[in-house]
Structure 1
Amino acid sequence: MKERHSPRVKKIAKIAAGSRGFGLPEILISLFLSSFILLALVNQYLGIKKEHQQIEAWLGQNTEVQLLIDLMRDSVRRAGFTPCLTIPHLLTSDVQGKPLFSLAIKHKPATMLIINRMHEEFDEISAISDSNQVRTKTRILKAGQTILIADCYHAETSVVKSIKAIGNGQIVDLMNPLIFNYQQPAYIGEWLEEKYFIRKVKNQNALYYGRNRFDELAPFVDDLAVQLLRKKDNILVRIILDLNHGKNIQFDTKLRA
């Protein structure tokens, strides 16, 4: 006798046949699509990561550039400082008898910006014993320092030969006799000479800064140019920095009157 199945049994058998799972072709296709999607996600992640690193580097260099601009502007603003008048308004002399200057630009062998001034931490001269000795009110000087002595009419540089403490002040012996006769108030302080210039090291240009020693200031600066501009009664110092990624930075700073 032929076995008969009820409609319910046939329906269950049909469902069971349809749920046997994926075959090998379906599995291979699924793996291929999964690999393709994963590769696309990895490439997208790497692209985002690289872009993020570039943005971080750009922001970091922009911060360094702004700090450099602030530093150079501050140096220019302080050029020629003495407590009474700036260097150009005084009768001046260095140890060789040459006039002092606030700011100079040298173009050979490469551009160099030189800025001279008295240190902001200066002292008042209480007495001038003779042409080689002065007395100060506090103790800020050291033997071997190059110093500037200035009143409201004259200024000259010298070198501290020796120091002797007396009370709250110092007796300062100078290497060279004073050239000018100073009137009170007269001041004494360290003479600073700042230099900005380009130096090539290992075939790579960089901006260097020097005062008592020379240090690399900005490895991202490839070239330096400096110009003096006169606008009405003001003198502007224009500084142009060529960055090593091709960008050009230019800014003007008013020179102290």
Structure 2
Amino acid sequence: MDTDTEMGPVEGLWLIMLEDTSSPTRLYKIDLLDGHATLLCSLNTTDEYNTSTFGRDGTLYAANAVTKNLEAIDPCTCARTVIGPTNVAALPGITTDQALGLYGLETTVDQFMVISTVNGNASAVGPLGINWGTGGLTWSDDLKDTFAINGTDDRLYTINHLTGKATFLVQTDYNFGSVGIEWHPKTHEIFACSNPAELLRVEQKDGTVTVVGPMNLENKQAHCDNLAAPWVPVACVEDK
């Protein structure tokens, strides 16, 4: 399926990311025009968060890689609300579903998961069918399904949200280490990040990866493994 729109970045649109290898953990706004990061706020923890996503209602969810909890984070203040344990070992990719729940990748057992936004629990949908390493996951309204990047083979996949099966779409021309990926609901493009921390654009047609620009994070050693795009306006972020 060809879902490219040939639309370039639109001024004033952005992604958000939680910085890795930082003390304390920081939340940034990422500009789609040149990739630069603007600090929003700092969390009251040094825990790492290797995946985040906005729900359809504007709630920012993140998976705490240390406590294995699903959390909600206020993008205006960075206040954290613990929703509950995911009960899985590794969750490097979460994304919204079509309603109020979440989907996720569990890479220790290579399963596609549904995640409750009520209690945080992750339940298996089905096997991915391949060995998954570092990775990221994103829902696309164009595809009516999920895209994912596997950092082990640097390939872009689609994953059937009803069965969990991963299907190879295209080989990228980028060597991913860590992986963040997000389909942007306004531009209908796939953005990604890795290490070094720079914003990337991934073409669905042929796998070409273009560097939009460096994020210029305060911690120069930090890498990027999560991106999130809002489905509804978040005023406090738009104003910064």
Do they superpose with TM above 0.5? Answer: no
Higher fraction of helix: 1
TM-score by length of 1: 0.27
Higher relative contact order (CA 8 A, sep 6+): 2
The structure with the larger Rg is: 1
Q: TM-score, normalised by structure 2?
A: 0.28
